[in-house]
């Protein structure tokens, strides 16, 4: 047989366009008529936030490539310039769809439920009086309008802040007639203001902060006439650059870079759709942007600022039903004795994250515990886990914490917690230069009689109490000696100098995980060539790594049945005759963010089936530029659980699934039989009653 050329560009989907397609799937959730109304609004806000980050990071990176003259194409053979052009087209359609959905569906539906957003011309006399009072007392004292002239150049505009460009007529007290001014809205104030209940017949009445500024903007320019006032927002490059080879202290270097993030290079301009072309072009010039970077919107320029509304409205029937995460019945007060009896596997958010917190708290207070080691990537503010580590350090236990300072958009929070831990006496390190520490590990060393025993928690998600309620993840408790020794060796790699040590059970990046995956994919291919059953099922967030994709293509050609459940980016094209016809790819988008990474190989490394959970996606960065952990699930019952609940159930989902076709397009799976929702079924099986 002639060997098939697997490097052909048509076999690959562009990474950035695949990510943008995921954001579309999130936006589609906001259209779902069967979903509770306020949850539809939440998905609209999430889609807006996703698009912001996409521009701050991905579009910004592409623009930098174009500026330096890069023409290097990816596996799909698209140059950075070509990708930017396609992104611009799709993103403009995306933004138009957002505001169409807001204005034609969500706002009218909210109004029918007694949740009103009043426009300026809808305020009655008493409402107008209240709003005017709000403007005079809450806004006017802190607004600083800036008239534009040679002595008052165009001001620095913060990333994603709400601003107004104002056209004026007349002369000011000094005889100046610049005709234009900028008003920057205070970031400390909410963008949605709730009116007192006694001012309306409806229970929930809101006005936009932008409407209030529009209504009374003339008060900022006494004696002059405002001929136009238009909101705008600029999005900036938010990547932090730190030359890790040239610095002595990563924390101090990042602290110095953080303020600059607010004023990075401009990548997108959003303006009100009624803003005159002349003023839009003026703004584009100020920010060094082209017309293709201009987005005209019919509504608030930052839809994400509508998110607080969901908490302000006390209407449970318009939200997802509440639930209490389940706790395995055998989990007692003494977690150490329970873990000694048998491993514990938790499936969040259907099962509670509280045992992870309890594990650290017990370790902090247990006199037999000598040392605690943990990785922290994202924890959120006021973390109860950090509280437990602080308590442990103050109790004179050896506490070592690997804090990843470069966790994007959490850098500032991680700097604060690193300082707090150091002040408590913990040993804090920042991982390895050039590699982000993305592994999720806790190791507790406890003296039991004459020996020391290691207790370990390994996770697929962050040690973040809030996201553990909305992200699906696995967490394993074990005191298996081989796993414990592996985790110990990974921590030693992170905190000391030395060669990589071969692990007994686990795989880890950037050393053995990539080769381990390729080896197992090839093993399935060899088994299929022998005419035996061969199967791979993987649930991950993203698939971009070229050699892994090629190995999957080769396995498919050999006859391996491959089912991939990929939430976000997928650069592989399934269903291509003779190449990937044995591969299916589906994306599940629902109430919870699918975040678990788990892999199943029917024949495995030694001819036996293997199941792994991991902190790593199948991306180049995760496999080569990050420290990641991948751990086997060997207990027969737990192995069966991951296969049935974490993988096969998602392959049966016919209500929240999107299927990727061989052209690179996602199509919503329409169920014609009994509906199956993996997330809802897991809630029914694992969570407590609502």
Catalytic residue numbers read 438
Q: Which residues, 6 or more positions from 93, have their beta carbon under 8 angstroms from its beta carbon?
A: none
Identify which of 12, 3, 7 has the alpha carbon closest to the alpha carbon of residue 574.
12
For residue 525, give the nearest of 574, 550, 560 by alpha carbon.
Answer: 560
The full length of the chain comes to 690
d(CA 16, CA 569): 8
CA 54 to chain centre: 11
Class of residue 499 by CB neighbours under 10 A (exposed 0-12, middle 13-18, buried 19+): exposed
Output the DSSP codes for 588-600: E-SSSEE---EEE
CA distance 258 to 159: 12
Q: Are 560 and 536 in contact (CB under 8 A)?
A: yes
Supply 356's token pair.
């992870």
- Asked if residue 30 lies in contact with residue 208, where contact means CB atoms within 8 angstroms, the answer is no
3-class SS at 84? helix
The answer to whether the beta carbons of residues 574 and 662 sit under 8 Å apart is yes
CA nearest to 102, candidates 162, 39, 31: 31
Provide the pairing of β-strand 225-236 with 204-208.
unpaired
- Strands 451-459, 441-448: pairing is antiparallel
Q: 387: burial class by Cβ within 10 Å (0-12, 13-18, 19+)? A: middle
Please check whether residue 217 is in contact with residue 166, taking contact to mean a CB–CB distance below 8 angstroms. yes
Report the run of H or E that residue 184 belongs to, with start and end. strand 180-184
Query: CA–CA distance from 134 to each of 2, 96, 125, 129, 346 (Å)?
Result: 76, 32, 14, 9, 49
The DSSP bridge partners found for residue 666 are: 660
Do residues 98 and 27 make contact, with C-beta atoms less than 8 angstroms apart? yes
């Amino acid at each position: 047989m002639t060997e098939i050329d697997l490097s052909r560009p048509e076999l690959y989907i562009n990474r950035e366009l695949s990510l943008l397609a995921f954001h579309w799937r999130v936006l589609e959730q906001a259209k779902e008529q069967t979903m509770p109304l306020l949850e539809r609004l939440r998905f609209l806000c999430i889609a807006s936030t996703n698009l912001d980050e996409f521009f701050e990071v991905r579009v910004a990176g592409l623009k930098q490539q174009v500026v330096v003259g890069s023409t290097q194409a990816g596996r799909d053979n698209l140059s950075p310039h070509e990708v930017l052009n396609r992104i611009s087209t799709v993103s403009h359609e995306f933004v138009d769809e957002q505001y169409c959905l807001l204005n034609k569906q969500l706002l009218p539906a909210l109004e029918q439920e007694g949740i009103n957003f009043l426009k300026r011309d809808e305020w009655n006399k008493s409402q107008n009086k209240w709003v005017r009072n709000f403007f005079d007392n809450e806004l006017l004292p802190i607004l600083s309008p800036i008239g534009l002239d040679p002595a008052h150049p165009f001001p620095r505009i913060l990333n994603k802040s709400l601003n107004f460009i104002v056209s004026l007529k007349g002369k000011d007290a000094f005889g100046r007639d610049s005709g234009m001014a900028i008003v920057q809205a205070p970031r400390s104030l909410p963008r949605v203001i709730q009116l007192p209940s006694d001012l309306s017949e409806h229970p929930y009445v809101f006005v936009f902060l932008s409407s209030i500024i529009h209504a009374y903007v003339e008060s900022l320019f006494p004696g002059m006439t405002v001929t136009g006032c238009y909101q705008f927002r600029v999005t900036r490059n938010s990547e932090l650059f730190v030359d890790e080879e040239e610095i002595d202290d990563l924390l101090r270097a990042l602290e110095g870079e953080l303020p600059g993030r607010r004023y990075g290079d401009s990548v997108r301009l959003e303006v009100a759709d009624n803003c005159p072309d002349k003023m839009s072009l003026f703004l584009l010039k100020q920010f060094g942007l082209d017309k293709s970077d201009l987005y005209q919107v019919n509504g608030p320029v930052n839809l994400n600022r509508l998110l607080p509304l969901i908490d302000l409205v006390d209407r449970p029937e318009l939200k997802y039903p509440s639930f209490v995460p389940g706790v395995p019945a055998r989990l007692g007060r003494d977690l150490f004795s329970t873990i000694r009896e048998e491993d514990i596997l938790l499936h969040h958010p259907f099962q509670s994250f509280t045992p992870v917190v309890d594990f650290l708290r017990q370790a902090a207070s247990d006199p037999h515990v000598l040392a605690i080691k943990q990785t922290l990537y994202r924890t959120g503010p006021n973390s109860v886990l950090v509280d437990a580590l602080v308590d442990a350090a103050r109790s004179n236990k050896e506490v070592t914490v690997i804090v990843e300072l470069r966790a994007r958009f959490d850098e500032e929070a991680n700097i604060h917690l690193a300082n707090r831990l150091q002040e408590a006496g913990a040993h804090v390190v920042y991982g390895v230069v050039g590699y982000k520490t993305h592994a999720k590990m806790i190791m507790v060393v406890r003296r039991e009689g004459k020996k020391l025993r290691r207790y370990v928690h390994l996770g697929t998600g962050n040690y973040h109490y809030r996201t553990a309620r909305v992200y699906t993840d696995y967490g394993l408790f074990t005191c298996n000696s081989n796993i414990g020794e592996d985790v110990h060796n990974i921590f030693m790699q992170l905190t000391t100098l030395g060669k990589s040590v071969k692990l007994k059970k686990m795989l880890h990046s950037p050393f053995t995980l990539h080769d381990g995956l390729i080896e197992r994919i090839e093993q399935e291919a060899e088994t299929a060539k022998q005419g035996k059953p061969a199967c791979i099922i993987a649930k991950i967030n993203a698939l971009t790594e070229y050699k892994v994709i090629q190995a999957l293509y080769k396995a498919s050609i050999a006859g391996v049945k491959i089912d991939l459940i990929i939430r976000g980016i997928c650069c592989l094209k399934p269903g291509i005759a003779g190449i990937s016809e044995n591969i299916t790819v589906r994306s599940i988008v629902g109430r919870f963010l699918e975040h678990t990474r788990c892999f199943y190989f029917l024949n495995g490394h030694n001819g036996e089936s293997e199941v792994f959970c991991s902190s790593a996606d199948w991306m180049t960065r995760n496999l080569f530029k990050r420290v990641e952990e991948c751990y086997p699930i060997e207990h027969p019952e737990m192995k069966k659980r991951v296969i049935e609940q974490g993988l096969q159930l998602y392959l049966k989902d016919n209500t929240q699934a999107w299927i990727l076709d061989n052209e690179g397009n996602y199509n919503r799976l329409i169920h014609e039989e009994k509906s199956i929702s993996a997330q809802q079924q897991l809630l029914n099986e694992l969570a407590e009653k609502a």
